[in-house]
Structure formats: structure tokens, C-alpha cells
Amino acid sequence: MPEFDTTLVWLRRDLRLDDHAALYHALKTSRTVVPVFIFDTDILAALPERADRRVEFIWDSVAALKRELETHGSSLVVRHGAAQQLIPQLAAEFNADAVFCNRDYEPAAITRDAAVAVALAQAGRVLRDYKDQVIFEQAEILTQSGTPFGVFTPYKNAWLKKLTPFYLTPYPVNRYLSRLAQLPPQPQPTLEEMGFSRTNLAALGVHGGSAGAQTLFENFIERMANYKLARDFPAIKGPSYLSVHLRFGTVSIRQLAFGAHGMGGAGAETWLAELIWREFYQQLLWHHPYLAVGRAYKPQFDAIDWPNPPGHFEAWCEARTGYPLVDAAMRQLNQTGYMHNRLRMVTASFLVKDLHVDWRQGERYFADKLIDFDLAANNGGWQWAASTGCDAQPWFRIFNPITQSEKFDAEGRFIKRYLPELAGIPAQAIHAPWQLSNAMQHAYGAMIGRDYPAPIVDHASARARTLALFKTATGEME
């Protein structure tokens, strides 16, 4: 006998039907299952832009999921409002015995879910949550002394040691789809009705939903063997581009990890390691929720008094630093909502260690702009670059933006894609165009200070000041 008569499945960052933990458990234990999604105003109201690529991606993915459910005689109940109030209301509306969802590890989400659980319990209903967006969660991977890992490589080794086929096995959702509630097609509020507008996702070729994720994954499988060699070069097609699909759960982490683990070889192993980095940062945030409120993982670095020189942050945001690789990367972010992973490290290092701006300002800017923004990964990445975090870049190792440019965009192809004003400059000079004579600048059609900014700082001088900042804060020497 089913345990529940009617159950709601509350979809959040898991916008798919296949291999879905909460949906599987709900279908298996209930006579009738009603899928619901809330465009949560507690989250949406905080977004600074009304044309937000993430909201559009979610909207498209919700619409695709609703259409898929309708092929099974069901639909997706979509609402716009505060989830904390709407979920208990919907449970009452459908006379549901329970609400099932997949766990979220961000502090605000944990607080929200706890409040929903209390409201449901007061009405005699239950909230059940499940692990879905990671292979291993919370305290499943600990050191031999039972403490959280603070260094990635031992964590990765423990992760791989614990991995068995069981953890990569998909949930057989299709076996139980007949238990979906038979519903007429449900309305979905438009972006405009919610106060948002469309962006340039269609022009960028970014497609939401499970179908968009599967197309990318099938393409990446053919390139995975070359991932280790190709991933650091922004001008070539090296990454999987699946990060936004992982963020919103239009693809299963088990499918991706199974694909990488099963293929083997250096490329697949390197990509699997990137998936493990994602889980490393997730468990880090769960164990240390203070990371979500702007505190450094290493408390001594909260003592750094960042100079935040006037105009530096704005120049970085607006791609006016005078360092071509940095500016090209920032234009990529501003124009597409995506930034190549190598360039996330370069631009973050540059903001903190060349421009001497507090890393939290950059973290917030990425949070506003990245379509694949994930709190744990974004915080982890910024603290890595700022040398304030867990297993971070040592503070005395500072990326040279010119060297990074010469190494990872040697021909200047990426730079010229986003900085067409430098298109006439030959590859060997494009990484530091201010070093060209005025005559050469004129000949190449790019006068520094007129057509493209002069460098906002001198890297060598900035590096020396950064070292002094860290030495003062830590009392350490190189």
C-alpha cells in the first residue's frame, strides 16, 4: 500500500523528470503526485536587473518541463510568490499529505525549508527531502578523524575511494510516472507578468531544459578526451558548458559523473575532478555557513584592510583596466553571462591583487552576472583567488595578467573576439599593447588612451603592494 494518498513534489534546482530523487520517492510512496514550481519572490526581489539571464533560463526550463509532464497527462503547477507561504497553501489546496523535495545546502534555503516544514507539520503534513544535486553530501566524506576536509586532493581521493556503482545509478522515475496527478495544462506566468524581460539567450544559443542539457553533454562526450589539454584556452571549445544545467538541475549529476568515470583517461579524469571540486565547495558551505555572509574561510584574512582605490572596481566591471585579457573576459561576462573558468581565476586575481579591491565586491558582481551562479562555487572560487579560502592559491603567488594572456591566448583570438578595437594589433604585441610606440599604435589603428585604455596599474608595483598587505595581516614572510 502507498504510504501517502497525495504528495506534492516541490521542484527547485532540479528541473527535470529523469533520475530525480524526490520525484522517484514521491511516485513510489504515493497514489498521486502533483509537481509544483514556485518563482520565489524572496529570491527574485533581490536581483538587481529585470533582464536577468538566469530567470529567463529558469522560465524556459520550467516551460519545457511543463510540456513534458503534459505528454504524460499531467502538468506543472506554477506559482509566483513567496515559496515559504505558497508551499503550505498548495499542500492544503491539493489536500496533500506530504511535500517532497531535494536538499539545498545554502543557509538561506535551509532556513526556508525549516520554516516550510514547521508550517506543514502544524497542518498535520510532512516535508521529506533527499540528496540529489551531489553524489556525496554534508558529512558523507570526512577525514579519518571525523572532521571536514580542508584540502581538495585528500577530499578527492576519499570521494573516489567511496564511489561505487550504487552512487551513480539513476533513479528509475519512468517506472512510476502513471502516478502523476492527471491535471489539465496549468498556466505559467510570463516573464513580463513577473516583472522581468527576455535577454539575449536565444542569440547566444543557450537552451534551457533537459533537451538543452543532453545536446551539450552529447557534444562534450566527443571532446571529453581532450578536456585536460583544451580546458585552459578560452578561444577554443574546451569546456562542457554544462555549468548552468548543473546549477538548475536540468541534468543529473549522476549521469555526468557516470559518463566521466566510465570513459576514463586523462580528459575524463580531469573533468570528473572538476565535478568533485563542485562538491568540495558544497560540503564546505554546509559545514561553514559563515562563508555565505562574507567572512573569509581563514579568519586572519578578515583583518586585511583592502584599499579599494576609487574607480578601480568600476574600471574592472566595465572592462576598462587596460589589460586586454582581463577586459576581454569581463566583456564576455557582461555580454553573455558566462566566463571561461581560467579567466574567472585571472580576473578575480587581478581585481584583488592588482587593483586591491576587496574580493567580496567581485564575488557580488559575479553573483549578479553569472548565469551559472552557484553560491558555494562562486565563494570558493573567489576565496581561492584572493588566498583567503580553503586550499587557496598561496597569497604570495600572484597571477601576472600579461603572462597569463601570452600562455592561454597566445594568438590573441579570444581578446580580438571581445575587444575588436585591438583587432589590428599582431599577436605578439596584443598582450601588452601599451608597450608599442605611438607610431606602431597608429599603424595598427589602436591608440592607447584613445581607442583602448592605458593600464590602470603597473603590475609589478601592484604586486609589491599586495605582498605588503598580506604580510601586515598575517605577520608572515614569503
User: Would residue 93 show up in a list of annotated catalytic residues for this protein?
Assistant: no
User: Would residue 306 show up in a list of annotated catalytic residues for this protein?
Assistant: yes
CATH 3.30.1950.10, domain 134-169+211-287, yes or no: no
Q: At what angle do helices 401-408 and 324-336 cross, to 10 degrees?
A: 70
User: Would residue 59 show up in a list of annotated catalytic residues for this protein?
Assistant: no
- Helix or strand run (H / E) with residue 6: strand 4-11
For CATH 1.10.579.10, the residue range(s) in the chain are 299-471
Name the active-site residue from 10, 59, 271, 382: 382
CATH number listed for the domain at residues 4-132: 3.40.50.620
pLDDT on residue 472? 87
Distance CA 326, CA 343 (A): 8
Cell of 189: 506566468
Report H helices in 45-106: 53-70, 83-93
Name the active-site residue from 219, 269, 306, 406: 306
For CATH 1.25.40.80, the residue range(s) in the chain are 134-169+211-287
For CATH 3.40.50.620, the residue range(s) in the chain are 4-132
Alpha carbons within 13 angstroms on the beta-carbon side of residue 137 total: 13
Report H helices in 227-265: 227-230, 243-248, 253-263
Name the active-site residue from 10, 277, 286, 316: 277
State pTM to two decimals: 0.96
User: Would residue 274 show up in a list of annotated catalytic residues for this protein?
Assistant: yes
Q: What's CA 218's distance to the chain center, in Å?
A: 21
Reported CATH class of domain 299-471: mainly alpha
Q: CA angle 130-55-17, nearest 5°?
A: 40
User: Would residue 277 show up in a list of annotated catalytic residues for this protein?
Assistant: yes
What is the full per-residue pLDDT of the chain (478 aa) written as tens digits? 799 999 999 999 999 999 999 999 999 999 999 999 999 999 999 999 999 999 999 999 999 999 999 999 999 999 999 999 999 999 999 999 999 999 999 999 999 999 999 999 999 999 999 999 999 999 999 999 999 999 999 999 999 999 999 999 999 999 999 999 999 999 999 999 999 999 999 999 999 999 999 999 999 999 999 999 999 999 999 999 999 999 999 999 999 999 999 999 999 999 999 999 999 999 999 999 999 999 999 998 998 999 999 999 999 999 999 999 999 999 999 999 999 999 999 999 999 999 999 999 999 999 999 999 999 999 999 999 999 998 878 888 899 999 999 999 999 999 999 999 999 999 999 999 999 999 999 999 999 999 999 999 999 999 999 999 998 887 764 4
User: Would residue 395 show up in a list of annotated catalytic residues for this protein?
Assistant: no
